[in-house]
């Protein structure tokens, strides 16, 4: 960056105005080389007079003007230039495809799947489930579960995989437990039915006894009424016979 020094500000201004090819970046007032030469820091002129847009006639030191080269100006202009606007992106072309069908659409009635395997026709849902979740699948699930537990460093959960010969025994034991539970449910249901039948029979016997008691009570009341009626009629007849001779 070129620098030029002047003794007065007027010389610096003349240089700036005359220099059209260089750009002035800064104007600096330098202090004098020795402080002993300075008698006062006040500039010449009356302090009460202020003239606007004028420069002092003299300064204590020198005036230094900094200018920039043309290459530096062009580089700064290129850096400060706004980026070129990008070309707007065209929208992608959307192709429209229309499917043409030849002939009429045939509507068919839904048919549920039919059981064609003769071995599976007579089996229960539990048997079909046992075919899907067989011994090999159970063993695979056990092995992978133990492997995952080992990878997660959970040694308390890991258990050795039972041998495959024990799987059938476990399934048989599970079937026996299910059968025993079914029998227990049947026994419980039978006992409840027996208790209910006994309660109904007892209620019927009580009802029959109450009906017989009321029938006997009604018969006794009727007999007492008949006896009192007959005794009253007999007394009236005797009274009539006794009074007849006296007349």
Q: What ranges do the domains of the chain cover?
A: 3-80
Provide the pLDDT for residue 189.
Answer: 63
Give residue 6's pLDDT band: very low, low, confident or very high (50, 70, 90).
low
Provide the pLDDT for residue 130.
Answer: 81
Provide the pLDDT for residue 171.
Answer: 55
Residue 36 has pLDDT above 70, yes or no: no
Residue 137 has pLDDT above 70, yes or no: yes
pTM over 0.75: no
Provide the pLDDT for residue 49.
Answer: 43
Give the residue, 212 or 189, on which the prediction is more confident: 212
Q: Which residues of 147-158 are buried (b: 16+ CB within 10 A; e: fewer)?
A: eeeeeeeeeeee
Report which secondary-structure segment, H or E, holds 207: helix 164-246
Residue carrying structure tokens 């079909």: 128
Provide the pLDDT for residue 129.
Answer: 83
Give the residue, 241 or 53, on which the prediction is more confident: 241
Residue 27 has pLDDT above 60, yes or no: yes
- CB atoms under 10 Å from CB of 29, counted, come to 13
What 3-state class would DSSP assign to 60?
coil
Give residue 60's pLDDT band: very low, low, confident or very high (50, 70, 90).
low
Residue 12 has pLDDT above 50, yes or no: yes
Residue 86 has pLDDT above 50, yes or no: yes
Query: Are 140 and 164 a contacting pair, CB within 8 Å?
Result: no
Provide the pLDDT for residue 232.
Answer: 65
Region 193-220: mean pLDDT is 83
Provide the pLDDT for residue 223.
Answer: 80
Q: Which two tokens stand for residue 157?
A: 């959960």
Range picked from 162-171, 173-182, 227-236 for highest mean pLDDT: 227-236
């Amino acid at each position: 960056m070129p620098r030029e020094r002047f003794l007065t500000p007027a010389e610096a201004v003349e240089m700036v105005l005359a220099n059209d090819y260089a750009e002035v970046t800064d104007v600096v007032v330098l202090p004098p080389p020795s402080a002993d030469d300075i008698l006062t820091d006040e500039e010449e002129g009356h302090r009460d007079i202020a003239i606007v847009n004028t420069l002092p006639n003299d300064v204590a030191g020198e005036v230094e003007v900094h200018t920039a080269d043309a290459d530096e100006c062009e580089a700064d202009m290129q850096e400060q230039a706004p980026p070129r606007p990008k070309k707007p992106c065209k929208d992608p072309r959307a192709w429209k495809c229309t499917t043409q069908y030849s002939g009429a659409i045939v509507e068919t009635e839904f048919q549920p799947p039919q059981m064609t395997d003769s071995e599976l026709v007579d089996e229960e849902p539990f048997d079909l489930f046992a075919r899907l979740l067989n011994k090999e699948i159970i063993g695979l699930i056990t092995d992978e579960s133990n492997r995952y537990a080992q990878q997660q460093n959970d040694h308390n959960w890991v258990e050795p995989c039972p041998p495959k010969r024990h799987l059938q025994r476990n399934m048989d034991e599970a079937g026996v437990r299910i059968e025993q539970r079914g029998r227990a449910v049947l026994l419980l249901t039978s006992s409840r039915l027996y208790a209910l039948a006994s309660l109904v029979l007892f209620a019927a016997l009580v009802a029959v006894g109450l009906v017989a008691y009321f029938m006997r009570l009604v018969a006794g009341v009727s007999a007492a009424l008949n006896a009192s009626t007959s005794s009253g009629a007999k007394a009236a007849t005797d009274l009539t016979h006794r009074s007849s001779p006296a007349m």
